[in-house]
Each structure stands twice: as structure tokens, then as C-alpha cells.
A and B are shown apart, each in its own frame.
Chain A
Amino acid sequence: MEFNEMKKIWDSQNNEPLYAINEEALHNRILSKKKTGYHITNTSELLLIIVNAAAGLFVLSVNFSKPGMNIYMYLLAAWMLFSALYMLVSRIRRIKGSQQFDRSMLGDLSHAISMATYQVQLSQVGRWNMLPIGVLCLLGLWDSGKPAWSMVVIAIFFAFAARGTVWEHGIYKKRKQELEILQKKLKAEG
């Protein structure tokens, strides 16, 4: 079959009666998806900012209210507040940067890759952030004379959390690689 014939076959469907759309169901679906359709990056970065800021402020207020000074806890609070600020600045940069892509398929893919790169970076920051937070937490407990078992429990908790961040990082990295393959395919000559 020649291509012109395929085109004729293709055009024949333009004369077919169009499918009926259940408009009410469609409208309901659009509304429900709009409510739940928060992007994963948006949610995870907001969560990280809030958690870091709230935890930093909490540690700071507990330190203020208690007699005696635990330098490690002050350092921990400062680190967490700095992390929250860093993520907030990154978020603002990301939102500003997302307006630079055109609506072509390549532009859309480049945008998706830039988002995936951001997710990879964010998860990497989260991963390495566990180390100073964990160490400062343990030092703070040690300095305030807490029993050894409580330090072991905290250390195990951080080890699990670190494992979780490695897993999360792997997912984002794989997603980014898939998008890059698609972009290469689109750009490839032939």
C-alpha cells in the first residue's frame, strides 16, 4: 500500500460520527483531578521546608526554655533553619526557571528533565542532610547525659531514614534517565 492510500484511509475517519462525550463525568473528573493534582515536587519540597523550619524552631524553643546551654542543639536548630531557607530559595529559583521553556515537545521534555534534575538534587541534599542532623542529634543527646539506648534508637532511626532517601534518590534518577533517553531519541537525526 502506498502512503497516499494510507492518508485516504486516515481521512475516512473524519466522516465517521464522533463519539459522544459524557460531559458531566468529564467536568467532575477535571475538578477532582485539579484538587488532587498537586505535583509531587511541589508537595515534597513544601513538606521539606515546613518540616525543617518547624523542627528547627522546636529545637530552638526547647533549648531556650531549658536551663543550661547545649551547643549541639543550637547548632542543630541553626542547621535545620538554614536547610529550610536553602530549600525555599531553590523553590523560588525553580518556579522562575520553569517559565523559560516553550510548549514544543522538546521544550516540554526539557522542562520535565529540568524538574527531574531538581528532584534528583533535592533528594541528594535531603540524603546528605541526614548526616549532620544525625550527628548533631546524637552529640546533643550525649551532651545532655541521655542513656546510651536512646542514642542507639536514634541512630537506628537515622539509618532507616538514610536508606529511604537512597531509595527515593534512585527513583528520581531513573526517571531523569528515561526522559533523557526520550529527548535523545527526539533530537537524533533519523
Chain B
Amino acid sequence: MTKNEQKKIFESWLDQYRGLVFKVVRAYALSHTDQNDLFQEITIQLWNSIPTFRQESSVSTWIYRISLNTAIKWVRKEQKHSRAESIENVEFIWEDGGTKVDERLAWLYEEIHRLDEIDRSLILLLLDGFSYKEMAGILGITESNVGVKINRVKKYLITKSKK
């Protein structure tokens, strides 16, 4: 694959699926600086993954897979290293358009952020309509295990919403 072909695929992925990447970024990183950092990490991993994409799964499943794996590693790294880089030195890769934030959506993201890294992945996949079978494939665990975990997380979120 030539660099040009890789670049074309990368741009089309980013164009079509950036919403998906943003969801993962918002679920795993809180501040704008962190979100930019994670967004960069994910896009770098996506770029690197293009030559290994064999079309055995859909592009969205592949992008979710890469994004979640990167986010989980990023969280681990961030827990150890506090950012030395000041906000002034960061070149922001993306900016929000200043759209009004839906309070209920903000609450949902906040609660998702409170979950551990693995439960966060599961709930993102569930909310985006992935089947248990697809989730099991993305996470590499059994469907029954996915079911048990999902039920627990669902119960947690429903209880939280009632408080």
C-alpha cells in the first residue's frame, strides 16, 4: 500500500467515523487538553492500523476496536504521568463548534466516565447498538460474559439516574 492510498483511506475513515472517535474520546478523557491528546493517540493508531485492516469486520467495528484499545492504554499511562505540558503549548487538533451542551448527555458522559475502563467500553458499544456477539468479538471475551457485565452496568446507570 502506498502512502497516498493510506492517506486517502485515513481521510475517508476520519470523515465518516470521527463522531465515533469523539464518543470514545469524551468517555475516556475529561479536559479539552486530554481529549486532544487522546484523539491524537487514536488517530495515530488508526493510521498505523490501515495496512493490517483485512475487512473481516466492518470499518466501524475496526475503528471502535482500535479506539477502545488505545483509550484503555492511554488511561493507564495518564494515571502515572501528570501532563507537564502547559495548555498554552498544546496545538489543538479539534475544536468544538460551540454547540449547546445537552445536560442529560453531559450527565451520561459523566457517569460513563465514573465506570472502570472495561465497563466504559462495554457501555459505549451497547449505546451505539452493537450486538453482544460483536461486543464479544471486539473485547475478546464470551457473549455470556458480555451479558453479565452489561446487566451490571445497566443496573448501575439506572440506579444512578434515579438519584
Residues of A within 8 A of B (CB): 1-3, 6-7, 9-10, 12-14, 16-22, 25-26, 28-30, 33-34, 37, 102-109, 112, 178-179, 182, 185-190
Q: Contacts A22-B93, A186-B139 hold; do A6 and B157 have CB atoms under 8 A apart?
A: yes
Contact residues of B between 32 and 90, Cβ < 8 Å to A = 40, 43-44, 47, 49, 52, 62, 65-66, 68-69, 72-73, 76
The contact size tier of chain B is 35 or more
Q: Does B23 contact A (CB under 8 A)?
A: yes
In angstroms, Cα B154 to Cα A2, docked, is 9
Q: CA A107 – CA B68 in complex, angstroms?
A: 13
Q: How many A-B residue pairs have CB under 8 A?
A: 120
A185 and B139 within 8 A (CB):
no
Contact present for B93 and A29 (CB under 8 Å): yes
Cα A112 to Cα B76 in complex, Å, equals: 12
| A144–chain B nearest beta-carbon distance, Å | 46
Of A21, A26, A37, A106, the contact of B141 (CB 8 Å cutoff): A106
**Residue among A6, A20, A179 facing the most chain B CB atoms (10 A cut-off):** A6
A10, A17, A25, A33 interface centre (most CB from chain B within 10 Å): A10
Q: How far is the CA of A28 from the CA of B158 in the complex (A)?
A: 43
Beta-carbon contact of B18 and A30 below 8 Å: no
| Set of chain B residues within 8 Å of A14, measured between Cβ atoms | 19
Contact B44 A34 (CB under 8 A): yes
Complex contact B116–A13 (CB within 8 A)? no
Given contacts A6-B108, A18-B19, A106-B140, A29 and B95 within 8 Å (CB-CB): no
CB of B23 to closest CB in A, whole Å: 7
Q: Which of A22, A105, A179 contacts B65 (CB 8 A)?
A: A105
Q: Is the pair A182, B118 in contact by a Cβ cutoff of 8 Å?
A: yes
The answer to whether B99 and A10 touch across the interface, beta carbons within 8 angstroms, is: no
Contact yes or no, B140 A18, CB < 8 A: no
